[in-house]
Amino acid sequence: MNRILAIASETLSEVIRHRILYLLLVFAAVMILFSRSLSLMTVGEDVKIIKDVGLSAINVFGLMVTLFVGVGILFKDMEKRTVQVTLSGPVARWEYLFGKYLGLSAAITLNTLLMTLLLYGMLFLRDAADPVLLVAVFMLWVELLFLTAAAVFFSSFSTPIFSALFTAATYVVGHLAWSLTLLEARLPAGGFASAVHYLYLLVPDLEYGDLRSQAVHGVAIQAQQVVFATAYELGYAGLLLALAALAFRRRDLV
């Protein structure tokens, strides 16, 4: 466990030193602050706009950190041959991989926390700091943990460019998985409809855990939905990390 935490700490330090992280944080801050200007153009919807734009910024820029920083972290170590040095000691490949994931997750957590504090600062000034919004932020954070696991999984056997594309595709498909049920309902019973059904069961459904709309519009959020969505996405993340460990064990690092 100490070896995993040491690798996680080193990974977090490496990510924090990454210039693009600060660039993305600046863009996120600008986007959240810009929501204040947008809210002035509406009557009675200003707080909703600030909440909506703020949550979208946390989601989008968290994803961009995963794509631009997370997917290249393994490749960078292999390119500099630091992974060979690390694994030459008493460190298993799965420990190295899991340590990298924990370090990336810590960076994602800090990124999410900073943007959340900025969003709540703006809402506090408007006397609209709704604690229910934290539930939506929590689910966005869980989704980013899942996407980080997907990035590590694809990076364990692919190049950074393809890993980024596969991770982005996972995000898009995960939020469009609901359309597969509509497609299945329109198809006649048979092999193709069954294939669509099993594809829906295989594809991660990220839309179920997306509570942004409910939080923004004041719709009640069921605790059962939060618990199920969290267990579902983190369970999927665990599966991807296990598959990543298997793939990375077979990867030639010479």
Spatial separation of the C-alpha atoms in residues 85 and 126, rounded to whole Å: 53
Identify whether the C-beta of residue 206 lies closer than 8 Å to the C-beta of residue 171. yes
Secondary structure class of 137 (helix, strand, coil) = helix
| Residue-level pLDDT at 216 | 83
The residues spanned by each domain of the chain are 2-249
- Cα separation, 21 vs 59, in Å, equals 15
pLDDT at 56: 86
- Measured CA to CA, the distance from residue 133 to residue 186 in angstroms comes to 36
List the Cα angle 133/44/29 in 5-degree steps: 50
Residue 234, pLDDT score: 94
**Gap between the Cα atoms of 179 and 218, Å rounded:** 25
For residue 80, what pLDDT is reported? 75
**Selection from 135, 170, 132 nearest residue 149 by Cα:** 170
Q: Name the stretches of the chain with pLDDT < 70.
A: 20-22, 24-25, 27-28, 31-45, 180, 182-188, 190-193, 196-197, 199, 253-254
Write the pLDDT tens digit of every residue in 118-152. 888 877 877 777 788 899 999 999 999 999 999 99
Do the Cβ atoms of 175 and 147 come closer than 8 Å? no
**Both structure tokens of 41:** 């153009």
Residue 105: C-alpha distances to residues 62, 201, 236, 246 (Å) = 11, 26, 15, 20
Q: Cα(188)–Cα(25) distance, rounded to whole angstroms?
A: 48
pLDDT in tens, 92-119: 888 888 999 999 999 899 888 888 888 8
Residue with structure tokens 């100490």? 2
pTM: 0.87
State the DSSP code for 188.
P
Instruction: For 46-92, give the DSSP string.
Output: HHHHHHHHHHHHHHHHHHHHHHHTGGGHHHHHHHHTHHHHHHTSS--
CA 112 to chain centre: 10
Contact 13, 102 (CB under 8 A): no
Q: Are 233 and 161 in contact (CB under 8 A)?
A: no
* 109 secondary structure, DSSP code: H
> Mapping DSSP to helix (H, G, I), strand (E, B) and coil, where does residue 128 land?
coil
Do 214 and 221 meet the contact criterion of CB atoms below 8 Å apart?
A: yes
